């Protein structure tokens, strides 16, 4: 049986001939798919997308360009000689195609829920401080302070000018960090960059935008890289030896030597200091991410894959020290624990009893199928344990599945399972990379290996595209909608409330957002949150009275907004019959209880007339 270290020695002894210039050029040629794809979508109208988002709107040349890049990436994964610049280029090209298409087509920052993050950033930019009494974001302000710093160095009062870049920059950085983690664990850059390629092709969870969770996920990957690269250890603990012994019995193989750990490591004190500083930034930026990090680090420490042994205690102390100041706030509004039932905690909690159209059901099916596909890939760890390195396989398995422990205590409002998948994905990508990018690659097996790598990437992308781009009709905010919201926060009366016709409004994207009444969730307040307004025709005088009643629950003064993105949301999730919101708007426009104060680009705002 051979370990990764044995394989590496084999590569040195049987190094292939240098590639010819023509072969080198051919390896770069598939990258032409990138400009071809973007040239094909230049000027594409995305103002009236249907139930399937961008899927039918994208021209065939975009899909052809993506397929060409993926085939080139697969070829580079099994090439006789690994070239890091080529691997980096393919990861960057895949990121630009999969994550850069929406911001390339967007008229304004994507995703309605990004605007609330912009509002907090603008508040800090304007005031130079935070106010804990406003909302939970002011209690975990690390990311928003970072955004305010970016606004300061770019000389802008709002992050709007650079928000779209985050959707590309974050995945690129994530890919680089996953490559670093994979390289540190296996000692092979080929496997590290293959893992990065698989990761960026399979990360359908949708956390690649301007948000605290994306920011802290980036720091989490950096922490994992420091831990395995600069604090890694090959001496198993008693628990590690026991786990390896059990795993060895399951796969009927003795424990093999640990995979090689590269030289050039940071001094331990320096590595621990940097890790703790990054973790402190995570702690003040997001509520859940610190505990996801602690779960994985603790699992690796228990195995002896990283040291010192007290590292999880130090991380826990930092997290607890900050949480104690906000414990009462969290317990009162959200709850520290949501129960011990992992199946209940893994369930997605829907605000509405929705039955979405087929296009949206396909989005969900594609994401779950992609996760299941990678879970099957993780089963390949059995092959790694039997053929390559049992200790590596055990470490990867424990790191990959340690985030699932979260589900035994917290569901995070129905998003817990998404965070678990996100923290599982880097390790799963490394496991799959070990199967499709093994080294050395014998000449007779190079073609089958290339086909296998190509199928993995093509299948991942085929599931990623509907899972991510298939819901673009709910993600793309038009310029008119963004301008309408900016106008509202400049001109509306403080202390009033803005009620949306449906969920999906880009609310609170201004520094004075806190001056307005209403709940602070993504889609509140909106008319369809009221049960009597859903699943029926609208437009009667009683419905207009109901709007006034909803407004008066929050304030004597208020407004109601109608916009195309809201109509699309109601249609996609079948919250009202098609045309119901248009009928309701006509009734509001005809009612003496409301007056129209804004109308542009299909967006209208009506003010409640008070006596």
Task: Give the model's pLDDT for residue 12.
Answer: 41
Distance of CA 287 to the CA centre of its chain: 16
Stretch 587-602: mean pLDDT: 95
Residue 6 confidence class, pLDDT cut points 50, 70, 90:
very low
Pairing of strands 497-500, 558-562: parallel
**Residue whose tokens read 């598939």:** 30
pLDDT higher than threshold 60 for residue 10? no
Residues 6+ apart with CB under 8 A from 93: 31, 33, 34, 69, 73
Stretch 578-593: mean pLDDT: 96
CATH of 478-608, one of 3.40.1000, 1.20.140, 3.40.50, 2.60.40: 3.40.50
Where do the domains of the chain lie? 4-42+51-109+179-474, 478-608
Q: Encode pLDDT of 78-125 as tens digits.
A: 888 889 999 999 999 999 999 999 999 999 999 998 999 999 999 999
CA torsion 568-570-576-578 (nearest 10°) is 0
Q: Encode pLDDT of 378-413 as tens digits.
A: 777 777 777 778 888 888 989 988 888 887 655 455
What pTM did the predictor assign? Answer: 0.90
Stretch 477-495: mean pLDDT: 95
- Which helix (DSSP H) or strand (DSSP E) does residue 372 occupy? helix 358-378
pLDDT higher than threshold 90 for residue 531? no
Least confident of 261-270, 465-474, 567-576, 587-596: 261-270
pLDDT higher than threshold 70 for residue 257? no
Residue 215 confidence class, pLDDT cut points 50, 70, 90:
very high
Distance of alpha carbon 109 from alpha carbon 106, whole angstroms: 7
One-character DSSP codes across 395-438: HHHHHHHGGGGGGGT--GGGTHHHHHHHHHHHHHHHHHHHHHS-
CB 510 within 8 A of CB 486: yes
């Amino acid at each position: 049986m051979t370990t990764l270290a044995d394989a590496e020695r084999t590569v040195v002894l049987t190094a292939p001939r240098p590639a010819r210039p023509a072969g080198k050029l051919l390896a770069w040629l598939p990258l032409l798919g990138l400009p071809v794809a973007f040239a094909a979508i230049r000027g594409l109208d995305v103002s009236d997308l249907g139930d399937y988002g961008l899927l039918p709107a994208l021209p065939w040349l975009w899909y052809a360009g993506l397929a060409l890049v993926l085939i080139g990436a697969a070829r580079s994964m099994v090439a006789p000689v690994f070239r890091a610049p080529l691997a980096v280029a393919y990861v960057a090209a895949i990121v630009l195609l999969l994550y850069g298409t929406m911001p390339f087509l967007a008229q304004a920052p994507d995703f309605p829920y990004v605007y609330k993050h912009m509002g907090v950033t603008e508040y800090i930019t304007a005031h130079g401080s935070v106010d804990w009494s406003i909302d939970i974001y002011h209690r975990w302000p690390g990311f928003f302070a970072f955004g305010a710093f970016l606004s300061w160095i770019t000389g802008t009062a709002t992050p709007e000018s650079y928000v779209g870049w985050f959707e590309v920059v974050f995945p690129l950085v994530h890919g680089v960090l996953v490559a670093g983690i994979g390289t540190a664990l296996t000692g092979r850059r080929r496997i590290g960059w293959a893992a990065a390629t698989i990761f960026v092709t399979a990360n359908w969870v949708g956390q690649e935008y301007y948000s605290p969770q994306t920011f802290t996920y980036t720091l989490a990957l950096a922490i994992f890289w420091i831990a395995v690269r600069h604090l890694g250890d090959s001496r198993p603990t008693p628990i590690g030896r026991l786990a390896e012994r059990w795993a060895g019995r399951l796969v009927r193989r003795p424990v093999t030597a640990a995979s090689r750990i590269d030289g050039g490591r940071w001094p331990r004190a320096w590595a621990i200091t940097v890790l703790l500083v990054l973790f402190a930034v995570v702690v003040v930026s997001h509520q859940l991410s610190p505990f996801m990090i602690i779960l994985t680090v603790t699992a690796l420490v228990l195995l002896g894959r990283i040291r010192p042994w007290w590292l999880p205690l130090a991380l826990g102390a930092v997290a607890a020290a900050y949480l104690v100041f906000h414990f009462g706030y969290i317990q009162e509004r959200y709850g520290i624990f949501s129960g011990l039932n992992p199946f209940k905690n893994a369930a997605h909690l829907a605000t509405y009893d929705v039955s979405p159209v087929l296009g949206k059901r396909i989005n969900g099916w594609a994401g779950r199928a992609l996760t299941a596909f990678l879970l099957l890939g993780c089963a390949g760890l059995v092959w790694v344990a039997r053929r390559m390195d049992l200790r590596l396989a055990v470490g990867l398995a424990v790191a990959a599945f340690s985030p699932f422990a979260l589900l035994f205590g917290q569901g995070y409002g129905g998003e817990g399972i998404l965070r678990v998948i996100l923290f599982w994905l880097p390790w799963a990508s490394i496991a799959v990379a070990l199967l499709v990018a093994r080294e050395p690659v014998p000449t007779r097996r190079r073609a089958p290996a290339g086909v296998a790598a190509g199928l993995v990437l093509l299948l991942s992308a085929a599931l990623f595209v509907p899972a991510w781009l298939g819901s673009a009709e709910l993600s793309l905010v038009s310029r008119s909608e963004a301008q309408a919201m900016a106008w509202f926060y400049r001109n509306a009366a403080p202390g009033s409330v803005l009620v949306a016709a449906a969920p999906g409004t880009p609310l609170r994207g201004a520094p004075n957002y806190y001056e307005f009444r209403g709940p602070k969730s993504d889609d509140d307040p909106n008319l369809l949150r009221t049960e009597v307004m859903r699943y029926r025709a609208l437009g009667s005088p009683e419905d207009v009275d109901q709007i006034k009643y909803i407004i008066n629950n929050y304030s004597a003064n208020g407004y109601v907004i109608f916009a195309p993105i809201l109509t699309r949301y109601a249609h996609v999730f079948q919250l009202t019959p098609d045309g119901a919101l248009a009928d309701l708007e006509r009734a509001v426009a005809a009612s003496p209880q409301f007056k129209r104060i804004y109308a542009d680009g299909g967006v209208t705002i009506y003010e409640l007339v008070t006596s």
